[in-house]
Amino acid sequence: MPYRMAFAGGWIDQPFVSAHNPDPPGSMVVVALEPTFPFMSKCGMGTSTRRAAMKLWGIRLPNEDPQKLMRELYQVENANRKDPSGSQDMAGIVFPGINRLDYDADFEGGYFPVHVASNNDPETARWLEEVIHILPVGQRPKGYYPLGEKNLDERWISRLGRAGRDCYDAIIEKDAAGLGESMIETMRCWKLSCRIPYATRPSQKTLPACCPTTKTGIMVPCIRAAEAAISTSSRMNRFRALSR
């Protein structure tokens, strides 16, 4: 069963965000991963959605339309939830390769992408494997609730949606600096503009980079490029982008 990694544009998959986007669709990028080490739970890697998928289908995805699987998994994962997960968690598992998810509140209420742009080119996947490493940083604190404050600004929600498009374009063009900037722009939107501050407030607990299998920690993707805005460490762990 694949894991999913979310890159730039996160939260645009939530209807309460996309409803304020003045120039829809807004985009975000997810990648299906074949792990080379166990990912930690409670670290932003969609592990609860993956567990729901394995409970539903076993260790392998059914050979069916990813759009159908995304909706089926969404219903199972979000049954009786007050605050449902966004559909990017499901899409990142069931759509192979590198995917740009475009969200418009006027399409199915913004719950599912109006369009999915996919890239399953092995060369692009290999490039992404070489520039992205994962570092465990710290566990999500007990009682973590990212929606404690929602003061949404449509100007910055527009920027958030553009960050997802820029991210996808940078990956296709193999532009590590552009990829790093799109991810930083996403954090900028979360912290300074969309004002979902609990989504960016770090835990007080940190872990050494050499503990990838510890059950606690936030997985932080880092770009390996001298000109990129995010640096790397030799102790970070690689992943394989899954294209099938």
Phi, psi torsion values for 103, nearest 5 degrees: -115, 135
Q: Are 201 and 146 in contact (CB under 8 A)?
A: no
Count CB atoms within 10 A of the CB of residue 1: 14
- Residue bearing tokens 């299906």: 32
**Structure tokens belonging to residue 234:** 């030799």
Distance of CA 59 to the CA centre of its chain: 21
- Residue bearing tokens 């059914």: 62
Q: How far apart are CA 64 and CA 177, in angstroms?
A: 36
Q: How far apart are CA 204 and CA 3, in angstroms?
A: 26
**Structure tokens belonging to residue 39:** 């990912």
At 138-171, the pLDDT tens digits run 677 777 766 777 778 899 999 999 999 999 999 9
Q: How do the domains of the chain map onto residue ranges?
A: 3-241
Q: How far apart are CA 86 and CA 67, in angstroms?
A: 14
What class does CATH assign to 3-241? alpha beta
Q: Is the confidence at residue 237, as pLDDT, over 50?
A: no
At 101-146, the pLDDT tens digits run 999 999 999 999 999 999 999 999 999 989 988 777 767 777 776 6
**Structure tokens belonging to residue 60:** 């392998």
